[in-house]
Amino acid sequence: MRKISILVIFAFFLFGCKQKSVIHPTFYYWKTDYRNKPAETTYLNQFKSKSLYVRIMDVDFNPDIQQPAPVSPIKFSDSLPDGLNIIPVVFIVNNVFNKIDSQQTAVLASRIAKFVDDKVKQSGKRNYAELQIDCDWTKTTKVAYFKFLEQLKATPLLKGKAISVTLRLHQVKNIVSSGIPPVERAILMCYNMGNLRKYGEQNSILNQHEMDLYLKDYLAQYPLALDVALPIFEWAVVFRNQEYAGISKHISKVQLEDPKLFKQRKNSILYDLLVDYPDAGLKSGDVVRWEEISAQDLSSTAKFLSRYLKPEERNLVFYHLDTDLLKHFTHDDFQKIIADL
């Protein structure tokens, strides 16, 4: 009887404990000029990061020339560190695929492959193994976008290279209407979940309710191998007369804590501007919603995802590599988040 009990207990631990994933932590680099800053490179070294996801450019439709065109491409003032691979990332505005046909998507694929290849060489790297396409495709652009991905894979410059894509929460839940992109790997973007433009106290960067709604019953069945992206950024969302007015790059926590400029609503992330603030383009009476992410928020998100993601080897990518953002987190904070996933 005792032997049977021991076998039951052993079986419980063997099959009841979910296998942990092997996690490779790294960052996105989302600036228009790459500089090898020691403080940022130190984090990559501490993480033992093998790769860095580097935004190469945005692509948007240019009405003057009636075709897609590069926007704010990166320049490399420094070379990437030795021993660190580059994963180039190209962001494509979704509406581009409403504007072009299959012949134009083939041209776009060829031009992106050439542009990326040139930029990778500028970064000091001879080659790369993976290209990531960042596009929040929809039901109306699905066919054109998926055709573009097929054409991209067939481009000679990308022979032997992997293509990955970004995946939003709604594309996980609405898999029938969104479709499954014709690639082998995607990265789940666990940020920008809420309604940024809606007035109120919600944090639109990270929202547990949205994750429950879009992922809880769907993530485990998603057929592609998945990496994960988590936010470490913060921003000031501006409202005028309770209408969304944009994100201010001129407002930080320092300005918000200046009593001559702002008054915080009690126990709130909303701040009322007391005077005109022309340096930031703001007027007295404007309201700023300060959204930021804590280490506890990220740890909770990692634990949530670990319950539903298939156990496998995956990258955990923090958005994004920036000295001012990194100072809000300790090395132990990051290690806990990594362990929780």
The predicted-structure confidence for 214-238, as pLDDT tens digits, reads as follows 999 999 999 999 999 999 999 999 9
My answer on whether omega of the bond before 24 falls inside 30° of 0, hence cis, is no
Give the rounded percent of residues in the chain with a pLDDT score beyond 70. Answer: 95
pLDDT-derived band at 17, boundaries 50, 70, 90: low
Handedness of CA 227, 212, 171, 16 (dihedral sign): positive
How many whole angstroms separate alpha carbon 335 and alpha carbon 298? Answer: 11
Instruction: Name the CA dihedral angle for 207, 209, 214, 217, rounded to a multiple of 10 degrees.
Output: 130
Residues 252-275, mean pLDDT to the nearest whole number = 96
Residue, of 20 and 107, whose pLDDT is higher: 107
> In a 3-state reduction of DSSP, which class is residue 235?
strand
pLDDT-derived band at 20, boundaries 50, 70, 90: confident
How many whole angstroms separate alpha carbon 44 and alpha carbon 39? Answer: 9
Q: Do residues 251 and 211 touch, judged by C-beta distance below 8 A?
A: no
How many whole angstroms separate alpha carbon 116 and alpha carbon 74? Answer: 10
Q: What is the 8-class DSSP label of residue 277?
A: B
Check: pTM over 0.85? Answer yes or no: yes
Tell me what pLDDT residue 135 has: 98
Q: What integer best gives the mean pLDDT of the chain?
A: 94
Q: Do residues 234 and 326 touch, judged by C-beta distance below 8 A?
A: no
Q: Do residues 207 and 214 touch, judged by C-beta distance below 8 A?
A: no
Tell me what pLDDT residue 9 has: 43
For the chain, what is the total number of helices (H) and then of strands (E)? Answer: 12, 16
Element (H, E) at 113: helix 102-122
How many whole angstroms separate alpha carbon 131 and alpha carbon 134? Answer: 10
Residues 44-58, mean pLDDT to the nearest whole number = 97
Q: Encoding tokens for residue 295?
A: 């280490």
